[in-house]
Chain A
Amino acid sequence: MRVETLPAVPGLGGLYGKGLAASGRLMMTRRLPGGGASDLALPDVAYRVAGVATGDDAAPGAVGSAAHLARYAQVVGEAPSEHLPAGYLHVLGFPLATALMVRGDFPLSLLGMVHLANAVSLVRPVRLGDTLEVRAWAQDLRPHRKGVQVDLVTEISVERTDDERAAGVGLPATTFAYRGVSTYLAKGTRLPDDSAGRTPEAHRDTGRDAQTFQPPLPTARWSLDGGTGRAYAAVSGDRNPIHTSALGAKAFGFPRAIAHGMYTAARALAESGAGRGETYDWTVSFAKPALLPSTVDVAIRPAADASARGRQDVEQVEAPVPDGAGDPRTGLTYVAWDRAGRPHLSGRVAPRP
């Protein structure tokens, strides 16, 4: 795969405009349903940005600065810390993955793409003051019952300081810290070899019917107010109108604005507590979006407790298993559901062995 180095992490605002244009172009050229097989190939390129500053070296108030991290922590409920939680690293790398998806040769339309799942491994702590290298690429285009799914991979490494370089001749220039895999669904698009999405593989990923979900006893309740989407948009840069305004949401068929899936997942990560340790795996599968405002019941339990009680609070949609994920009986599992008992999301947070 070719690596293309960008001078800086691009801004999301411009990317959305570009995404809109690209989506229009895709529609014009009718590469969507019924498009030719040769068109559905992912760009063979990875984006790379080096020298991404955090802490005092970041622009004041910008992503990576102490003030921005503090705002993020307050919004998602993370304890104030100099550590960058995995949800924050997702925010930091998200524009680079988005830049890939708005490329002219990216075969799927960004607009209306559905975030199905996320699997993250934080393998070494990242702190304010670390200088980061971010890479992003797309991989594994595959069929889904309702269309085509694709993984956007973001990797973050910490650049060695000058002192470290001087001390350790021959060491690689960076140490690997974070890998996030975001799985997206493009509805309606079909892969040529997907005989209308009826392969067992396509069905497996949709998991059990939501009707079979029995809510367990909750351990927490989230009162999501009407400004939740705007608050997370402000710290994540993801200002998709379906999250920030009722009107924008209506345009996509939702009765009201919906919470960012990653906001709810980041909140579950935050509420998993100090027991997750400094390095951890974090997965999430998204089901029904949470409308704003709404009250969401949540169960976050030690996996050992959950299995001992035979609870049914396991994943609806199987998230990809992070590399090196440990014993499934360790860590915490979480699931959140609405007033009617329909699941919003589920996942797991586990300290890395």
Chain B
Amino acid sequence: MATRNPPVPTAGAPAPTSGAPRDAYVIGGNRIPFARAGGKYSRASNQEMFTAALEGLVARYGLQGERLGEVVGGAVLKHARDFNLVRESVLGSSLSAQTPAYDLQQACATGLEAAIAVSNKIRLGQVESGVAGGSDTVSDAPIAVSEGLRRALLEASHAKTFGARVKAFGSVRPSDLAPLTPSTDEPRTGLSMGEHQAITTARWGITREAQDALALASHEHLAAAWDAGFFDDLVTPHRGLVRDQNLRADSSLEKLARLKPVYGKRLGGSPDDSGHRDGPEPTMTAGNSTPLTDGASTVLLGSREWASERNLPLLARVVDAETAAVDYVHGHEGLLMAPAHAVPRLLARNGLMLGDLDFYEIHEAFASTVLTTLAAWEDDEYCRTELGLDGRLGSIDRGRLNVTGSSLAAGHPFAATGGRIVATAAKLVARKAAETGGTTRALISVCAAGGLGVAMILESVHSTDATA
């Protein structure tokens, strides 16, 4: 039971690029500002938001009437009627109606996995161009009926006589009439994502102070990037929102320190009458955890030839990507620790060291998610026993981490986060390469429900041919 697969060394695996016919490039991105749940987009559907982000992308890159190779995206909280969410959004956009589309869903990694899917088709020559993205709304989330009522409704719809239809409802109890709202609880554990992360935080001994400092840095970096105009060509205003609504430019360590913990309060049992508790002190607050958010994002990808024909820029080459999953159900690994596994495999396959990256875009599901991941890579024993490495993966230069802010400040509309990060990272490497003339690389990692994690490496395009 629960047998442990021995860690598989990956350093010897062949690089997939060796056999790939050609490269896929990030050309640009567009998103709408992210809104706090119940905020500016409280009446906006996923389809409206994804269409808005897509339409902004079309306008920015002059794609009206174009037949793209495909548009791929999805939403985590999805209505049954949205079975073809992305295709419906394409039909509502000014792209050619002949642009195919499909929905993809991998929890919070939906957007990044969509970018992998599109770039792989480009690399194989199956498509010349494509859009990857995602949308999510907590404000317009689906509400389901209870299992008892659902069973009765199904039985009634299959019943052949009036009497049988009435009988089908006989089993419905008053409690069955309460609606079911979506939750972020893991189905197999009943623990919310925050509670899972509180356990991982306790196991790694991440302090409240370190989490608050990371949260503050996220707000400061995002505010500075907005002020510097970094997002001017990455974001299209929507429904009166011009900046990410969750951003608090005036946040401070003092303000963050005043917030009460919201997760991990039960670990080790409640405090006794004298306030003594046996378990670890709870450290995760609303300030160092990502709030529920609404929004949508898109990324335009293409082959060099396709971009060249349209005189579009090449921001970054998609080097490679890796998806990992961890055994969290019985507590062997933390729910959100899969990126810690994906990244070393990705680096090894591409002959890179952790320090070879110029930018680290680590999705801030919680401040402690980033910190536990970094702590894991610095832990010699963990890296040997759990990751199958010879020793610690290493430390990163914190000055290269989430330099224009991340989800703690911007918010995290689940499926929209991947697109936000890919576009940001591509622009960062393009800008730095233009300044320095050298090769610049960014590492992206996104954790997701179900113990999933996705990582990607982007690399700058040589300056002489960055604009094809």
Contact = CB atoms under 8 A, between A and B. Distances in A.
Interface of A: 74, 214-215, 217-223, 227, 271-273, 275-277, 295, 297, 299-302, 305, 330-332, 337, 339-341, 349-351
Interface stretch (B57-65, B261-269, B444-452, B456-464): B261-269
B189 interface: yes
A185 B147 CA distance: 38
Interface of B: 1-3, 147, 175, 188-191, 195, 199, 202-203, 266-270, 278-279, 329-332
A331 B330 CA distance: 11
B202 A217 contact: yes
A272 B270 CA distance: 26
Contacts of B266: 218, 295, 297, 339
A217 B199 CA distance: 7
B1 A349 contact: yes
B1 A351 contact: yes
B268 A214 contact: yes
Contact of B203 (A217, A220, A295, A300): A217
A302 B268 contact: no
B190 A222 contact: yes
A305 B330 contact: yes
Contact of B190 (A223, A299, A330, A350): A223
Given A273-B2, A301-B331, A331-B1, A340 B270 contact: yes
B278 A221 contact: no
Nearest to B199: A217
Contact of A341 (B189, B199, B203, B278): B278
Contacts of B195: 221
5 contacts: A217-B199, A219-B191, A219-B331, A221-B190, A302-B2
Contact of B191 (A221, A331, A340, A349): A221
B3 A275 contact: yes
B1 A277 contact: yes
A332 B1 contact: yes
A326 to B, nearest CB: 11
A302 B270 CA distance: 26
B177 to A, nearest CB: 13
Looking at chain A's contact residues, is the secondary structure mostly helix, strand, loop, or mixed?
mixed
B191 to A, nearest CB: 5
Most chain A CB within 10 A, of B1, B202, B203, B267, is at B1
B1 A215 contact: no
Nearest to A338: B269
B179 to A, nearest CB: 15
Contacts of B190: 220-223
A220 B2 contact: no
A302 B1 contact: yes
A345 to B, nearest CB: 16
A339 B330 CA distance: 20
B189 A221 contact: yes
B187 to A, nearest CB: 10
B191 A341 contact: no
A272 B175 contact: no
B75 to A, nearest CB: 26
A272 B1 contact: yes
Contact of A340 (B269, B330, B331): B269
Contacts of B147: 74
A94 to B, nearest CB: 24
Given A217-B199, A275-B1, A277-B1, A302 B189 contact: no
Contacts of B199: 217-219
A214 B278 contact: yes
Contact of B1 (A217, A223, A350): A350
B269 A215 contact: yes
B330 A273 contact: yes
A337 B331 contact: no
Nearest to A299: B331
Contacts of B332: 301-302, 305
Given A271-B188, A337-B269, A217 B331 contact: yes
B329 A218 contact: no
Contact of B270 (A74, A217, A277, A341): A341
Contacts of B278: 214-215, 341
A5 B199 CA distance: 53
A340 B272 CA distance: 8
Contacts of A272: 1
B119 to A, nearest CB: 34
A351 B189 CA distance: 21
A143 B330 CA distance: 37
B203 A276 contact: no
B276 to A, nearest CB: 12
Nearest to B198: A217
Contacts of A350: 1
A45 B267 CA distance: 49
A349 B269 CA distance: 25
A275 B2 CA distance: 6
A339 B1 contact: no
Nearest to B200: A217
A273 B332 CA distance: 14
Nearest to B189: A220
B270 A218 contact: no
